[in-house]
Amino acid sequence: MSHYEAPIRKPLITGDKSYHDVTLDVVRPVEGKANKSWWIVFSISLIAFLWGLGCIIYTVSTGIGTWGLNKTIGWAWDITNFVWWVGIGHAGTLISAVLLLFRQKWRMSINRSAEAMTIFAVVQAGLFPIIHMGRPWLAYWVLPIPNQFGSLWVNFNSPLLWDVFAISTYLSVSLVFWWTGLLPDFAMIRDRAVKPFQKKIYGILSFGWSGRAKDWQRFEEIHLVLAGLATPLVLSVHTIVSFDFATSVIPGWHTTIFPPYFVAGAIFSGFAMVNTLLITMRKVSSLEAYITHQHIELMNIVIMITGSIVGVAYITELFMAWYSGVEYEQFAFLNRATGPYWWAYWSMMTCNVISPQFMWFPKLRRSIMFSFFISIVVNIGMWFERFVIIATSLHRDYMPSAWTMFSPTYVDIGIFVGTIGFFFVLFLLYARTFPVIAQAELKSILKSSGEKYKKIRAEKGDDAPLHDPYKQEAKPDFTNEFNK
Amino acid sequence: MSSEKKYWKSEAQLDENNPEVQSLENNEFVEHIPTDEFLGNKEKLENSKTTRRDFLKYVGFSTAAASLAACEGPVVKSIPYVVQPDRLVPGVADYYATTIANGYDFASVLVKTREGRPIKIDNNTSAKDFTAGKARVHASVLDLYDIKRLQNPQIEGRDATWSEFDEKVGIELNLASTKKIVLLTQTFASPSTDRLIKQFKEKYPNTEHIVYDSVSEEAALKAFQGKFGYKALPNYDFSKAATIVSVGADFLGDWQGGGFDASYSRGREPKSGKMSRHVQFEANMTLSGGNADKRVATKPSVQKQVLVEIYNQIVSNAGSTELNAKTQKAVDSAVNSLKKGGSKSVLITGIQDEGAQRMALEINAALASTIIDTDNARMIRQGENSKIDRLIEEMQSGQIGVLMTAGINPVYSLPNSEEFTEAMQNVDATVAFSMKLDETATQAKYVASTPHYLESWGDVQLTKKTFSLIQPTIQPLFDTRQFEECLLNIISESTDYYGFIKETFNQNFGGLSWNQSLHDGTFTYESEVNKEDSEEETISSAFNASSVARQLLAHSGDNLELTLYTKTSIGDGQQSNNPWLQEMPDPITRTSWDNYITIAKSDAESLGLKNYNVADGALNGDYVNLTLGETTIENIPAFIQPGQAPGSIGLALGYGKTESIQEEMQVGHNAFKLYKDFNTHQDVSLSKGTGVHEFACVQLHHTMMGRRDIVKETTLEIFNTSEKDSWNKTPEVSLNHKPTKVTSPDVDLWQEFDREIGHHFNLSIDLNSCTGCGACVIACHSENNVPVVGKHEVRKSRDMHWLRIDRYYSSEDSLQGDYEKKDNISGLSESLSKFAELEEPSETDVQVIFQPVMCQHCNHAPCETVCPVAATAHSRQGQNHMTYNRCVGTRYCANNCPYKVRRFNWFQYSQNDEFDYHMNNDLGRMVLNPDVTVRSRGVMEKCSLCIQMTQKTILDAKRDGREIKDGEFQTACSAACDKGAMVFGDVNDKESKVVEKRDDDRMYHLLEYLGTKPNVMYQTKVRNTTEA
């Protein structure tokens, strides 16, 4: 009865998939050749990435003056992009760690890619704090390393320093977690590989996975431990990012609501990005059987809930501004909604608060196209949220004499587009070389949640034998003998 | 005697028969190089291991190695003194007292030199008057290092030597014996120069000396002459004034030579409950109008009526005026104030009309004003511009043999400069004495390169009784010779100019010590000094009030009336190649790098002119074409100016130069073309031009939004009668639901350090004494090596000023009105509409406030906690430090600064061709203060409270083993402010003036409710609104 699952639950793997089918579906992109559309998307991403790289080189060699910043607005697109990417990077760990602890099995077909997205997004995010520095070649000064500058230490009071710790911890834990999960799947590719070079590479990547029971036991244990470690990180990273603003004195930044508000916003945007990526990937890599409507619907429900939390946070901010009686606070929010950047505020409101409410309608949240559309809208909205918080709070703060505006230069835009390009370059390479679905894990629920077996149980009763009858194949393929 | 001794080199030599020794001796000097042996043996050559290819390899390698070895790193030469001058210690500054007298600005200054280089102009505090509290004077040190200076004399456009110059000019002068020789000069106000010119006239009796001021005060001079018999300008001591009424005179600006602001400010401190009342009638918004207790926007034609009306009411009826009710009321009130003040009242006017100026003198005489000082009159303007037209006629008709110009640039600054240029062709020889190859010098046949005043000798009679000496502070940088030295050469006087001045000194001021006077730079001499040219003396003329009134009232006033003015930064334009001044924002418009039409909003609307902000906040404006008679200037940008009298416009002189000025600084339009008859008031017409102008404005928002925490203001009446809490309440926060003052330690998050030990610096800024003149801005620039970033960067809100002077306009009629309006806002819809209204400055009746803002040096600094690398930190002395070489440039500190005073180096501003200002050439870099780092790109910078100066004071006292006296601690800004608005000192010295300021009832901190505990404090602005 270990494979029993209530028949009312929707299958998580559709189609008549056997264990071998799962293997074949996962390795197909790795073993096969890239199609034309992959090359087109990859080329566009690569060009965007190189363009961004050019802009970064120009910035570092000429000065931050190549951006649109000024004496009043010291951060705009740089930190907006940073927070945006960190936020996107939230979904992966949440899906793989938190949902693992909560035993949400639907995570299994999406966690691999969500984690990959996390890591690639954090890489993009990590770029910005470095390149936004006036002297990035001294970026290592933010690390508390013993030094010869009269033993000059970092300033532990600075939230920016906490960011350094938070982001680097998050990146390393996520990377370890991801890689651990990848080991049995890499081993599977290694075992199927026919080319010696490929075999060698995947052999190294799989860390010598042998498939022994002891391997599996340790695998399960470390997975659980890492999930336990990663779960607080989901909350801490964006909490600390929000401290950059919350601990300051600038009206619109100085807000105690920021930590939960930022975490909710991060999950919101992360799930939206997962949706964007997976809806594309299931189509391109023919993974419809694994990333089902059910998955997308569940993701949409999370988006709807976190979007609503974010909406409540926005309204709470307005309430607190009014209730505080602090004139600067009141003006900051009045200015946010009706000042020169009203369009950014209302774009944010529309995209983040109104658009997820459509997900109350089952028809809409089950529609693939609509989900894809909303996922894009949400990420546009979340980008605006950060821009609104950062730039519109700064542009009119205490001293009206210093009030001004911000306008991005082509370099600002180029770097942002460049990181999007870089992200997709990484993701597309990942999609062609990594097992994009945690097949080893997925196989563990195939018989309980696979459509095929649910059908067998429905037809023949819960006690029906679920194993495939042994079929003698005409020509046994001995090269893959040990794979069975 | 030859020596018989034999020296042997080895033992073998002792045996005479040794064949080896023999053969070696024979081969000691090889007679031929054995090339044949080597090359002749073909076989051996062919068998040799070194092939041709190897040979080429060796050659290639050794050439490459040799050339690589020849490459060297850049060599920076630092040359030590061979013999170190006694009084010159590297690292220790020397100070010299001298005087700037460039014909426009006159002031006694103290020059700081380091290693022989003048690097900063300070105020000469021992001078009673003309103490140099002017931005242009402080910036004049940079003119010394101007790369556009003329470096040697020129004859007909080619470089020449002085002997050649002397010879040729001598010949020209002798040839001109049948014609006239004209000396056309600036106002030197110099007894020695006058004596010298007299001697020159003795040698060349056909000489005429015409004094020309680019911005004329001739009307006032003539009026004064009419009343008192000699040519001078009255002096004023506003410190004792009870009532000041100004009709169109920007006396806090450049009116009659400027420099009245120091005494004005002393009279504005509401100590013992009294301060002057200042009423201003003016068309353009000026510094004077901005500081006035009551300002009435009045266009020039109405100003004339106002003056006549005041005359009517105070002296006698001269003619009936037709003022509208509002102006009439203001005039009546002003007259009452004048009468109330009695002999402590003064009326001044800027109307460029002899009758009007005379009227003002008569009014002051009727008031028996003690504020006006006609005994110790000002000598710093002597221009006889009305003679110019006759001169041009004479030049055209070929009557002039030699025209010598000195210290002036008439081809640029004359309204009819084309005529003048043409007429110059009919003069046999034109000689220009000039520091630059300017518009006039390029037209002249002979150009004498003159030195900067910091390289010259001279004496100046500032007022009847005040004299000042000019002494060089550096060897001339170029092959230059001053005008007076040249004249001495021409008249073959044996003495040099230094000797000549000394001679004059000894003749005139018997009993005074030359050395002491030179040391002090300035001295007073009570008894009458023989003025050399007495030919100017005329008998005073009678005053016919009614005819003057008739003439003044004749102006119809239907046209658009232009008032030409000079900017605080650029003045008459002689310093326009000075990047500090170009970048200095105008105190009123806060716009730099430009001149523009200032126009009232109502007039702008009727012409369809707009000012608007683009996406990055920068200000854009429409162009206008301005026509005056035959002259049209096209595409002048229009700037909508709150407080501009409707029906009037303003335009600054001194812009639009094209010769000897770097391309970056060729900005604006030459308004001298409109300066017809040397009258600043002209009737013009405007039409909308094409295109859009990009302004470089540093302040894009003009009102204070009713925020009391920024500028506190009250009236004299409330100040005198009410408790401090009613007009300067310390903000309160809620602690356990009880209102608690933010200054209370109970609401402090941190444990307070003991700040009683050692020094603790505070800076007090008095908003009553501050006139917004901007001398501190330039002094800060100069002391702290603040970079100039240029028009385009300023436009992007990236100016680097460490010290800015915020200027706010009221949105209602007064700032109090703004406060009340904001306080009464209730509900969302009212918030939306009222805040939007508060963003707009009032159109005509507008109150202005100036507030200098620099780093506030908070004891609880928001910037310090957020820096990840601890590059900004607090000192025991209260200064917030910025460690440039630790800064990685995250800009977090700047974001978290509520005062927005931090400045980021967006680019490399020094030695970068993109920023081709003084820091990009070796000459300009000589002005840099060696005590202050030149910042590299990517680091944050800001005011340090001049830590290099405070530490110097501490170290000096420590070395001398003495206590530091109050007043020894200074910052560049506090030292530059001759108004006493900035007081700097150690609050742990209980006797110090700054402690008195800290404990003053008027004291408040900027945005005090934040609890940042700044070490900079402000004194509440008090306005004397008491209507008499």
Q: Residue B284's closest CA among B812, B674, B846, B668?
A: B846
Is residue B848 included in any domain, yes or no? Answer: yes
Taking the CA atoms of residue B468, residue B473, residue B474 and residue B475 in that order, the dihedral angle to the nearest 10 degrees is: 50
Task: Give me the number of domains chain B comprises.
Answer: 4
Q: Residue B879's closest CA among B931, B947, B783?
A: B947
Q: Decide if A154 and B906 are in contact by the 8 Å CB cutoff.
A: no
Which H or E run includes B945?
none
- Owning domain of residue B370: 219-378
Of A72, A132, A407, the CB nearest to B890: A132
Q: What is the pLDDT of residue B67?
A: 84
Q: Which amino acid is at B866?
A: V
Domain CATH for B646: 2.40.40.20
Kindly report the number of other CB atoms within 10 A of residue B505's CB atom. Answer: 21
**pLDDT tens digits, residue range B789-803?**
999 999 999 999 999
Share of chain A above pLDDT 70, in %: 95
For an interface test with B, the pick among A66, A399, A410 (most B C-beta atoms closer than 10 Å) comes out as A399
Q: How far apart are the first and last CA of chain A?
A: 24
Contacts of A401 in chain B (CB under 8 A): 699, 701, 804, 806-808, 851, 853, 900
Which H or E run includes B167?
helix B162-175
Q: What is the pLDDT of residue A394?
A: 94
| Alpha helices, DSSP H, located in A391-468 | 393-395, 410-433, 439-449, 451-460
Residues B748 and B792 in one domain: yes
Is residue B912 included in any domain, yes or no? Answer: yes
Is residue B15 included in any domain, yes or no? Answer: yes
Taking a contact as any Cβ pair under 8 Å apart, which residues of chain A between 247 and 266 contact chain B?
247-250
Is residue B195 included in any domain, yes or no? Answer: no
Is residue B586 included in any domain, yes or no? Answer: yes
Q: What is the pLDDT of residue B532?
A: 46
Measured CA angle at B361 (ends B355, B362), to 5 deg:
85
Of A155, A249, A404, the CB nearest to B898: A249
Q: What is the pLDDT of residue B539?
A: 57
- For B10-36, what is the mean pLDDT? 74
Would you say residue B534 has pLDDT above 60? no
Query: Which residue among B344, B378, B412 closes a domain?
Result: B378
Of B808, B869, B939, the CB nearest to A401: B808
For an interface test with B, the pick among A70, A396, A412 (most B C-beta atoms closer than 10 Å) comes out as A70
Q: What is the pLDDT of residue B997?
A: 93
Phi then psi for residue A267, to 5 deg, are -65, -40
Domain CATH for B894: 3.30.70.20
* Burial of B572 per CB tally in 10 Å (0-12, 13-18, 19+): buried
Q: What is the pLDDT of residue B437?
A: 92
Residue B831 carries which DSSP code?
H
Residues B660 and B735 in one domain: no
Contacts of B908 in chain A (CB under 8 A): 63
Q: Which amino acid is at B210?
A: I
| Alpha helices, DSSP H, located in A325-409 | 327-338, 342-349, 362-365, 368-387, 393-395
Contacts of B909 in chain A (CB under 8 A): none
Beta bridge partner(s), residue A210: none
Confirm or reject contact between A399 and chain B (CB < 8 A).
yes
Q: Which two tokens stand for residue B952?
A: 């110097």
Is residue B35 included in any domain, yes or no? Answer: yes
Helix, strand, coil shares of chain A as percentages rounded to 5?
75, 0, 25
Would you say residue B49 has pLDDT above 80? no
Contacts of B938 in chain A (CB under 8 A): 63-64, 133-135
Contacts of A134 in chain B (CB under 8 A): 887-891, 904-905, 937-940
Residues B725 and B678 in one domain: no
Would you say residue B31 has pLDDT above 70? no
Is residue B572 included in any domain, yes or no? Answer: yes
Phi then psi for residue B811, to 5 deg, are -90, -35
Q: Which two tokens stand for residue A445?
A: 């629920």
DSSP string covering B293-353: SEEEE--HHHHHHHHHHHHHHHT---------HHHHHHHHHHHHHHHHHGGGEEEEE----
Query: Residue ranges of chain A with pLDDT lower than 50?
Result: 1, 484
Query: Please, which residues have CB within 8 angstroms of residue B74's CB and are 6 or more apart in sequence?
Result: none
pTM of the model: 0.89
Would you say residue B533 has pLDDT above 50? no
Q: Which amino acid is at B497?
A: Y
Q: What is the pLDDT of residue B386?
A: 86
Would you say residue B566 has pLDDT above 70? yes
Which residue in this structure is represented by tokens 């006396």? B251
More confident residue, A147 or B430: B430
- For B186-213, what is the mean pLDDT? 92
Is residue B721 included in any domain, yes or no? Answer: yes
- Average per-residue pLDDT in chain B? 89
> A314: distance to nearest CA of chain B, Å?
17
Buried b (16+ CB within 10 A) or exposed e, A58-82: ebbebbbbbbbbbbbbbbbbbbbbb
Phi then psi for residue B571, to 5 deg, are 60, -130
Q: Yes or no: say if B396 and B422 are a contact pair by the CB < 8 Å rule.
A: yes
Residue B256 carries which DSSP code?
G
Residue B759 carries which DSSP code?
-
- Average per-residue pLDDT in chain A? 89
Q: Yes or no: say if B287 and B602 are a contact pair by the CB < 8 Å rule.
A: no
For an interface test with B, the pick among A60, A66, A71, A149 (most B C-beta atoms closer than 10 Å) comes out as A71
**pLDDT tens digits, residue range B463-510?**
988 899 999 999 999 999 999 999 998 888 788 899 999 989 988 887
Q: What is the pLDDT of residue A484?
A: 47
Q: Decide if B894 and A74 are in contact by the 8 Å CB cutoff.
A: yes
Residues B688 and B719 in one domain: no
CA distance readout (Å), B478 to A408, B149, B472, B977: 47, 9, 14, 33
Share of chain B above pLDDT 90, in %: 64
Beta bridge partner(s), residue A156: none
Q: Which two tokens stand for residue B385?
A: 């511009």
- For B547-562, what is the mean pLDDT? 84
User: How far is the C-alpha of A390 from the C-alpha of A453, rounded, in Å?
Assistant: 52
More confident residue, A310 or B85: A310
Residue B1019 carries which DSSP code?
E
Kindly report the number of other CB atoms within 10 A of residue B565's CB atom. Answer: 27
For an interface test with A, the pick among B612, B797, B828 (most A C-beta atoms closer than 10 Å) comes out as B797
DSSP string covering B450-463: ---GGG--EEEE-B
Q: Which amino acid is at B65?
A: A
